[in-house]
């Protein structure tokens, strides 16, 4: 993302991060404050997927404006800038998880398959459910980063006499939207675990990022229609993204394993026209921007901290549990701020200096 901050996108990123942390850590307070039976929250990871596709799409379309921009050197530069932003934190927490598991501080298993985590193969086509469980979504994004620009480069080089960069972008975006759905339809088996084999594989979930690419295309090339449609698309997005989760939580396994992800991805994308131009003065901007900036570190740090502190909640009263849980959130935010300030941001600044 460029230096420009878009409040609506910061807001939805922050809300998604808070939702994910709450759902992953609710078990800490469940003995005293359990959720109502049958209540389901929308998947915050879907927001991160579509938002990543949207932001990467905007950066790509603003970087590769003409045919002359489609050089392999520029594609590698594009990838290098993305990897400076995401890989250091990923490997920092991968190593941290391995160390904590080795000393039995947090749950997990270490064996010869742990090496797959270093090359993002732990959930490419077959799930490897050993450790660092939150990394499944990062693996999907890390595969998206090269697949998208390299596919653009190949399509343009192969069809450059008959395809424009804009059409090539649409071709790749629609390919990323349709091919994972087809893969889910072809590989569907009612005996397969929904979470591991459909929700958390690279080959089954790239379409969520494809919807973000499509939203970026309309935001840049059809801005007036994109903007004018905001009050129509936003309620559609709310219905598809939020209400759909509850409507089909215990529904048909086939739909939930195939078309469900297409509808939620499209639903999140429908929120962006309103969010992109959001002007809400009453919402405090600084806390939202702060949490948005450290959201990547929040996502990586919240589970290890929950694992390390869960024993504190044994035989506690309701008030003591709430106090401990407030402390948990304080630890997550504080550690994320420190990681962002002294590790993540310096590396990003180094990227900007190197070009």
Q: Is the pLDDT of residue 305 over 60?
A: yes
Distances (CA, A) of 341 to 6, 29, 30, 302, 332: 21, 30, 33, 17, 14
Cβ-proximal residues to 69 (8 Å cutoff; 6+ apart), any chain: 63, 165
CA distance 157 to 67: 10
Q: Is the pLDDT of residue 124 over 60?
A: yes
Least confident of 4-8, 110-114, 315-319: 4-8
pLDDT at 210: 98
Least confident of 29-33, 268-272, 322-326: 29-33
Confidence of residue 161 (pLDDT cuts 50, 70, 90): low
Q: Is the pLDDT of residue 3 over 60?
A: no
42-51 pLDDT per residue, tens: 899 999 999 9
Highest mean pLDDT among 75-89, 158-172, 246-260: 75-89
**Mean per-residue pLDDT for 104-114?**
97
pLDDT at 243: 81
pLDDT at 334: 98
Kindly report the average pLDDT of the chain as a whole number: 92
CA contacts within 13 A on the Cβ side of 71: 5
**Mean per-residue pLDDT for 56-77?**
88
Any idea where the domains of the chain sit in the sequence? 1-39+286-355, 43-278
**Mean per-residue pLDDT for 274-302?**
92
pLDDT at 165: 80
Tokens of 296: 């990547």
pLDDT at 328: 98
Q: What percent of the chain has pLDDT over 90?
A: 79
**Mean per-residue pLDDT for 240-267?**
84
pLDDT at 346: 95
Three-state secondary-structure class, residue 55: helix
**Mean per-residue pLDDT for 223-237?**
94
Confidence of residue 174 (pLDDT cuts 50, 70, 90): very high
pLDDT at 354: 74
Return the closest-CA partner of residue 56 out of 74, 79, 77: 79
Higher model confidence: residue 34 or residue 254?
254
Q: Is the pLDDT of residue 83 over 60?
A: yes
CA distance 309 to 286: 29
Place of tokens 């499209």: 266
Predicted model pTM: 0.94
Q: Is the pLDDT of residue 2 over 60?
A: no
Confidence of residue 251 (pLDDT cuts 50, 70, 90): low
Confidence of residue 144 (pLDDT cuts 50, 70, 90): very high
């Amino acid at each position: 993302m460029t230096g420009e901050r878009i409040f609506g996108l910061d807001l939805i990123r922050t809300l998604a991060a808070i939702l994910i942390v709450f759902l992953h850590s609710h078990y800490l307070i469940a003995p005293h404050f359990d959720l109502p039976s049958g209540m389901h929250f929308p998947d915050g990871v879907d927001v991160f997927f579509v938002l990543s596709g949207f932001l990467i799409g905007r950066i790509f379309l603003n970087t590769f404006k003409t045919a002359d921009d489609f050089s392999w050197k520029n594609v590698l530069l594009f990838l290098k800038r993305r990897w400076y932003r995401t890989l250091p934190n990923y490997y920092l927490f991968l190593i941290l998880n391995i160390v904590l598991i080795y000393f039995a501080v947090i749950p997990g298993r270490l064996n010869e398959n742990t090496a797959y985590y270093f090359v993002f193969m732990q959930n490419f086509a077959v799930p490897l459910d050993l450790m660092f469980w939150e990394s499944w979504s990062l693996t999907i994004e890390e595969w998206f980063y090269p697949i998208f620009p390299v596919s653009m480069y190949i399509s343009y080089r192969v069809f450059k006499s008959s395809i424009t960069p804009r059409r090539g972008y649409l071709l790749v975006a629609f390919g990323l939207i349709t091919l994972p759905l087809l893969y889910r339809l072809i590989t569907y088996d009612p005996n397969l675990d929904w979470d591991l084999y459909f929700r958390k594989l690279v080959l089954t979930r790239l379409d969520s990022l494809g919807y973000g690419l499509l939203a970026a295309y309309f935001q840049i090339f059809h801005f007036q229609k994109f903007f004018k449609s905001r009050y129509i698309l936003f309620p559609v997005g709310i219905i598809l993204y939020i209400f759909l989760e509850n409507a089909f939580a215990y529904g048909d396994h086939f739909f939930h394993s195939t078309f469900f992800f297409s509808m939620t991805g499209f639903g999140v994308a429908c929120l962006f026209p309103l969010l992109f131009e959001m002007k809400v003065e009453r919402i405090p901007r600084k806390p939202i921007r702060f949490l948005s900036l450290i959201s990547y570190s929040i996502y990586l740090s919240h589970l290890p901290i929950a694992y390390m502190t869960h024993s504190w909640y044994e035989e506690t009263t309701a008030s003591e549990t709430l106090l401990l849980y407030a402390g948990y959130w304080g630890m997550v935010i504080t550690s994320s701020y420190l990681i962002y300030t002294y590790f993540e941001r310096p590396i990003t600044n180094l990227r900007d200096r190197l070009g």
